[in-house]
Amino acid sequence: MSTPEVRIGVVGGSGAAGTIVRPLVRERGCENVRYFASARSAGRQLDGRVVEEATPEALSAGDVDVFLFSVGTSSSRELVPHAVRGGAVCLDKSAAFRLQDGVPLVVPEVNGERALEHEGIIAVPNCCAIPLTTVLKPLHDEAGLRRLRIATYQSVSGAGAQAMERLRAEASDAHDLRQDWEFDGEEFDEEEKLRAETRKILELPDLPVSATCVRVPVLVGHMASVWIETEAPLSAERARELLAEAPSVRLEDFPTPGKSAGRDDVLVGRIRPDRSGETGLTLLLACDNLRKGAALNGIQTMELLLSRQALAA
């Protein structure tokens, strides 16, 4: 089965991430695509197709090979099991299953082989964990990661389409930084996700990670300032060589969210010695959080399965 032949179900195609899924699927020449949504959106037209309601019956009917879920965590938790029951592979963008045993958490360039071990669900990682691990993998393979410290600069599209509308309507005098995630008294869940998912993807369960996540008044694109301590010395020059050859990575002198927006690669730059440490580097990375940070990563994972004949025909 090739990409154009696969029967795809897009669930939640009208949200901030879902809106990116649809053109990416179309670009790949997929013809057998159906859209599913909640009762509220069902019946609407999207790209000339009528949106079907994402009922347990519709999702479990067995006539879809791959579902791409771009809905909230609670909706995923409720709906994904029905799609699995129907025999489909589910690529789920939500946090519902990411840390669950038996659910691969996949960045194709980093741990693509894990996708083949799925039991129906493959989780798409957090929008910051994807670019971070894409950049870290070749550095880890070379020098071994010892510690990570990360300060993020995350765009409002990560908070959804309504947050984008709010920023568009806001006077610049009201622009501020925010931390709009769930707080557990010490950390935001976004910071905890970044630690736990980075560990799972890189298969380094004890990697020390400290992250501070911040929302910035930019529409699309997430940036992160990262300090990387390595076990073995790793020069900035060697890191640049490794990253120049790494898949889905592009060297850029001064990465910014704006430069990453609409592009498929993770931008990485400002690669230099950590002047505060002994063996370590610091760098900036930026990534379109709606593309490689979400929809694109899921579609690339689907394509990996297809290329490995790992989807039922």
Q: How many CB atoms lie within 10 A of CB 122?
A: 25
CB of 106 to a copy of itself, least distance (A): 25
| φ, ψ of residue 232 in degrees (nearest 5) | -100, 155
158: which 2 tokens?
Answer: 């990560």
User: For a copy of itself, which is the closer residue by CB, 82 or 149?
Assistant: 149
Active site residue 127: yes
Active site residue 82: no
Catalytic annotation, pick one of 30, 140, 222, 287 = 222
Q: Quote the CA–CA distance of 121 and 165 in Å, as a whole number.
A: 32
63: which 2 tokens?
Answer: 């006539």
CB of 180 to a copy of itself, least distance (A): 10
User: For a copy of itself, which is the closer residue by CB, 282 or 301?
Assistant: 282
Cβ distance 51 to 42 under 8 Å?
yes
CB of 92 to a copy of itself, least distance (A): 27
CB of 163 to a copy of itself, least distance (A): 12
CB of 101 to a copy of itself, least distance (A): 23
Kindly report the three-state secondary structure assignment for every residue of 28-84: CCCCCEEEEECCCCCCCEECCEECEECCHHHHCCCCCCEEEECCCHHHHHHHHHHHH
309: closest CA among 102, 56, 54, 65?
A: 65
Cβ distance 112 to 224 under 8 Å?
no
Kindly report the three-state secondary structure assignment for every residue of 85-132: HCCCEEEECCCCCCCCCCCCECCHHHHHHHHHHCCCEEECCCCCHHHH
Question: What is the binding site for a copy of itself (CB under 8 A)?
Answer: 147-149, 151, 153, 167-168, 170, 172-179, 186-187, 195, 208-210, 212, 214, 216-219, 221, 223, 225, 227, 254, 256-259, 270, 272, 274-277, 282, 284
User: For a copy of itself, which is the closer residue by CB, 167 or 246?
Assistant: 167
CB of 172 to a copy of itself, least distance (A): 5
User: For a copy of itself, which is the closer residue by CB, 116 or 174?
Assistant: 174
Catalytic annotation, pick one of 30, 127, 128, 287 = 127
User: For a copy of itself, which is the closer residue by CB, 59 or 283?
Assistant: 283
User: For a copy of itself, which is the closer residue by CB, 101 or 206?
Assistant: 206
Q: What 8-state DSSP symbol labels residue 157? A: G
Indicate the helix (H) or strand (E) that contains 271.
strand 266-273
Residues identified as active-site:
127, 222
